[in-house]
Amino acid sequence: MLEILTKLLFLYLPFQIALNPAEGFDLASVRIIIPLLFIAWLIDGLKNKKIIIPNNLTFFLLISFLFLTSFSLFFAENFVWGLRKLIFLFSIFPLFFVVHAIFSSNQAKKLSLLKFTALGGVFTALLGIIQFLLQLIIPLNKLYSAWAIIIVPFLGNSFSQAVLTNPSWLVNVGGHTLLRATAFFPDPHMLAFYLNITGLISLGIYFSQQEYDLRTSPLPLLEGEMPTGRGGGKLTIYFSKHLSPKEIKNKKNYYLFFSIIIFLASFLTFSRGGYLGLIAGLLFFGFFTFKSKLKYFFNNAKRVISLIFILITFSLILAIPNPITNRLTSSFDLSEGSNTGRIETWKQSLEIIKANPTLGVGLGNYSLSIKPSANYREPIYSHNTFLDIAAETGILNALVWLLLFLFSIINFTRGFIINNDFIDLALVSALVSLSIHSLFETAIFSVHILPLIILILSLNNSKQN
């Protein structure tokens, strides 16, 4: 039951309803569901006298991060603001135990969980694409007003008002104002984080699907042989009596289609940090995939033609002026308004870090250091995850977070190189994408993104477990 509920959680994640238990107080339903899952897991473990506690560097670094983050509260000007953020972190963190215990050491269960995650991604992508296309038939101001009403149940009364007070939904590209894809997310940047991660996961499933379906199918199997293509040897394979190889291949292709839809929706967010993160993740995935399948790839004319077609299409997209490439190239224009503002924000953050290097200004108190009259939901932050962590909780804690990501990236990459496991490659590519995007935005306090980060980290099943 816990396994099914956890899968449904990640399908529900991008569509979660927000509760309003009190005036001015919003509570994302996932923040209740995750602790309940953890309690159920704990009770089940005590009942069976078997509680799996991770014993690896990932878990140690994550615990260290939470400890240093908690300790920074003693130096916070506004203790309550920091406490609210800390409670948020501890309401999501227990997911690590559940996912690690149930899914990390079982490849079939891991793949199944990631399929639900990818499915949530493609549904969200379709919603974002539909939202974007609606402005072609509905006047922009009417669509904007309508969407401002639609999102209230998903963000909560207070949070939705804060989002609309400081909107980032609109973008001016080539003199045209466009409504960016946001789906039920508070802003396009968080949606881009989510889509890039789930898109890369879907791509990894595409490359691994046939192997895992053949290996783990619960249906009766027939044994057969096929050439390996390496010295004329034979490879024993198993086909289900109920699924032909063609049917399995078609099933596999769904996830390639899903990833294309998800990446298209990511483009429609017009998030420049998202573009850079996606490009980094795809390049990382492509490099290791191409390297591992080089000989296999060039033995098939269709694959070569497909690659040439993709490269030509991508080159044309970059060469022909369009809103997406205009938005991407503006990322490198240091004189552009938002880029100038972001550089100034980074300078401010560095000054705060310089003045408070050890434990920062306290969790949740960065905005007060910039603007003493700021309110809790005012969007004042560093536009850089690592600077945000360093400014609020100290340089040491930022280093711990960086090491947490570096260790996971190295470990997943090693797993792919040794086992040729494309799920590992998908997860490490998602971390690379997340890391690059995090240089421009902060997503660790997003109720949509932090569970995905915990998901990836908890599946880092190193030999030290």
Cα 19–Cα 22–Cα 25 angle in degrees, nearest 5: 70
Give the pLDDT of residue 279: 92
Q: pLDDT confidence of 341, banded at 50, 70, 90?
A: confident
Single out the residue of 107, 121, 346 nearest to residue 213, CA to CA: 107
| CA 368 to chain CA centroid, nearest Å | 29
Backbone φ and ψ for 229, nearest 5 degrees, come out as 85, 5
CA distance linking residue 92 with residue 121, whole number of Å: 20
Q: 3-class DSSP state for residue 34? A: helix
pLDDT tens for each residue of 143-155: 998 998 999 888 8
Q: pLDDT confidence of 157, banded at 50, 70, 90?
A: confident
**Element at 25 (helix H, strand E):** strand 25-28
Give the pLDDT of residue 330: 55
Cα 175–Cα 178–Cα 184 angle in degrees, nearest 5: 160
Region for residue 329 given its phi and psi (left: phi exceeds 0; alpha: psi -120 to 50; beta: otherwise): alpha
pLDDT tens for each residue of 248-276: 445 557 888 899 999 999 999 999 899 99
Higher pLDDT, residue 445 or 377: 445
Six token digits for residue 59: 């878990």
Interaxial angle between packed helices 2-12 and 95-103, expressed in degrees from 0 to 180 and rounded to the nearest 10: 120
- What residue segments make up the domains of the chain, in order of their start? 2-458
pLDDT tens for each residue of 119-142: 999 999 999 999 999 999 999 989
Alpha-helix residue ranges (DSSP H) falling in 229-356: 245-267, 272-292, 294-298, 301-319, 323-329, 337-355
Rg of the chain taking only CA atoms, in angstroms: 23
Q: 3-class DSSP state for residue 167? A: coil
